[in-house]
Structure 1
Amino acid sequence: MKFVQTVHRGARMLLLASVFPALGSIAVLGVTAATPAAAADLGDRGYSKVPAIVARGYDWSGFYIGANAGWGSSHDTWSVDQTGADAGSHSSTGAVAGGQLGYRWQAGALVFGLEAQGNWADLKGSHVLNEDGTNAHSTLNAFGLFTGQVGYAWNNTLLYAKGGAAVTRTKYEVTYPGGADVSGNQTRWGAAVGAGLEYGFAPNWSVGVEYNHIFAKRFSTSFYDSAGFTDPDKVARVGGDSDLVTARLNYRWGGATSAKY
């Protein structure tokens, strides 16, 4: 009886030993088969892309208003109106300050604009007319510029040229020995050209430096005494060009920045 039980136990052990290796092989095969499927399943899933880096490009478009201040020089050449005889010349120099209002629009790197500028000025100069102490004086006390602009922008740096019309207000004066004097005021139109460099240091703020040259033809002016009287002898031909250099500060409404991908 014990022999029979022993035989049965041995048979069961042999059966289990043969079954477990088979199960192990099946498990290995199952894992191997499942691995490519899992990989394929992972491959089908879409990966989230890293957001594109956004570069901010400076936009010069829009209306702007600003202030300017600097220095100027105006050259005056005098002659006797009746005879054309040379009466000498001088340069009038001094400070200028004022404001500007304009509009710009940008197309790619090109920037176009229109601007009106008005300035107070104190450009004074004089020279000796006669050895007896008679002197000629001139003071450019105001000017205006009405110009168009075209420029090229490197992001927040703008280089531009400008041109258009100019108007000046100048006082001419002759002083005589003993304190007597005659004077005349003239408002004259001419042409202007210039160039500037501007830098945007904030979305709507920019600073710059600008040069302008005003072309002014010489003209005849009458001089009046303190009582408002003149005579044909008190007429001279005067005038000349002006050069201006100013620093500028502008505030702009408009484009500020635009996204570039």
Structure 2
Amino acid sequence: MKRVLLGTVAILAFAAPAFAADMPARTYTKAPVYTPPEVIYNWTGFYIGGHLGGAFAGNNSLEGSGGRFMGGVQGGFDYQFATNWVVGAEAQYSWLSNNNSNLVFPGGTVVTAKNNQLGSVTGRLGYTWGPALLYAKGGYAWRDNPNIGVAVAGTPAAFTTDSTHKNGYTVGAGLEYMFAPNWSAKAEYQYYNFGSTTFTGGPAPIVGSRFRDDEHTVKVGVNYRFGWGGPVAAKY
């Protein structure tokens, strides 16, 4: 009996390594690497806001080439489509600080001009990635009466012009960035063109003189977006 037990133990001792070799190797599964969810920004919705900046008249302008402070308000609507594209419309109104331009002609003739308001209604098209939106805009522009005056040796003189040139067009471009839910900030350049003013009557030195009516503006602003703006979903 003892010999039988010893024989059995010997057989098992030799067979165990071979049996272990035939067993499949244990496999290990590595835990997946954590990937944070991607935040999706949605620009669709209404917004209102305000802006500050400066306005600079173009060359040969009645308003002169000096810079003026500007501030105002804007509001509009954006619609995001095809993932990265945004189309919208915006109305904007700006107040300008007074300008004291004096154009001196021969014979002591002086022409002054002043306007204090700019407005626009534009469409805009932009491309967005994450919280940033790069856009271009263009459309209708308006300004208040330029309030032109003519004087000879300090005495007001009668004159006529071809038009008040209160209506024109505007184009511009800017970058807007969502820095918090429902809030965005922007930096923008906008050009306004109202044609040219020609003096058709008045003191002889000014008759036939023609001046451009345009403004170059740069501004920064903040918008509050109602409901839709800001990070609204997480993509895994």
Shared fold (TM-score greater than 0.5)?
A: yes
- Could you say if the C-alpha distance between residues 187 and 217 of structure 1 is closer, same or farther in structure 2, counting changes exceeding 3 Å? closer
Query: Match of 1:246?
Result: 219
Query: Match of 1:172?
Result: 148
Query: Match of 1:203?
Result: 181
Query: Match of 2:168?
Result: 190
Q: Out of 203, 210, 218, which is 2:196 matched to? A: 218
Query: Match of 1:140?
Result: 115
Kindly indicate whether residue 124 of structure 2 is the aligned counterpart of residue 149 of structure 1.
yes
Deviation at 1:21, TM superposition (A): 9.0
CA distance in 1, matches of 2:65, 2:150: 15
Kindly indicate whether residue 87 of structure 2 is the aligned counterpart of residue 104 of structure 1.
no
SS at match of 1:217: strand
CA distance in 2, matches of 1:178, 1:238: 22
Any residues of structure 2 matched to 1:114-129 within 5 Å, and which?
A: 114-122=89-97, 124=99, 125-129=101-105
Structure 2 gap ranges (5+): none
SS at match of 1:148: strand
- Could you say if the C-alpha distance between residues 69 and 89 of structure 1 is closer, same or farther in structure 2, counting changes exceeding 3 Å? closer
- Alpha-carbon displacement from aligned partner over 1:20-46 (angstroms, at most 9, x marks no partner): 9979x99xx9xxx9xx99x9xx99xxx
- Asked if the contact 2:134/2:174 (under 8 Å) is kept, the reply is yes
- Asked if the contact 2:46/2:78 (under 8 Å) is kept, the reply is yes
Structure 1 gap ranges (5+): 1-14, 79-87, 223-231
Using the aligned pairs only, state the percent identity. Answer: 30
- Could you say if the C-alpha distance between residues 171 and 120 of structure 1 is closer, same or farther in structure 2, counting changes exceeding 3 Å? same
Query: Match of 1:11?
Result: none
- Asked if the contact 2:119/2:141 (under 8 Å) is kept, the reply is yes
Aligned CA RMSD, in angstroms, stands at 4.1
Q: What is the TM-score normalised by the length of structure 2?
A: 0.73
- Asked if the contact 2:193/2:215 (under 8 Å) is kept, the reply is yes
- Could you say if the C-alpha distance between residues 183 and 48 of structure 1 is closer, same or farther in structure 2, counting changes exceeding 3 Å? farther
- Asked if the contact 1:72/1:123 (under 8 Å) is kept, the reply is no
- Could you say if the C-alpha distance between residues 186 and 114 of structure 1 is closer, same or farther in structure 2, counting changes exceeding 3 Å? same
- Asked if the contact 1:61/1:256 (under 8 Å) is kept, the reply is no
Deviation at 1:70, TM superposition (A): 0.7
Letter in 2 for 1:190: G
CA distance in 2, matches of 1:164, 1:21: 102
Query: Match of 1:4?
Result: none
Kindly indicate whether residue 69 of structure 2 is the aligned counterpart of residue 95 of structure 1.
yes
Q: Out of 126, 137, 154, which is 1:162 matched to? A: 137
- Larger gyration radius, structure 1 or structure 2: 1
SS at match of 2:148: strand
- Asked if the contact 1:214/1:242 (under 8 Å) is kept, the reply is yes
Report how many aligned residue pairs link the two structures.
225
Deviation at 1:140, TM superposition (A): 2.2
CA distance in 2, matches of 1:76, 1:173: 20
Q: Out of 130, 139, 161, which is 2:106 matched to? A: 130
Letter in 1 for 2:122: T
CA distance in 1, matches of 2:95, 2:158: 23
CA distance in 1, matches of 2:132, 2:63: 40
- Asked if the contact 2:165/2:195 (under 8 Å) is kept, the reply is no
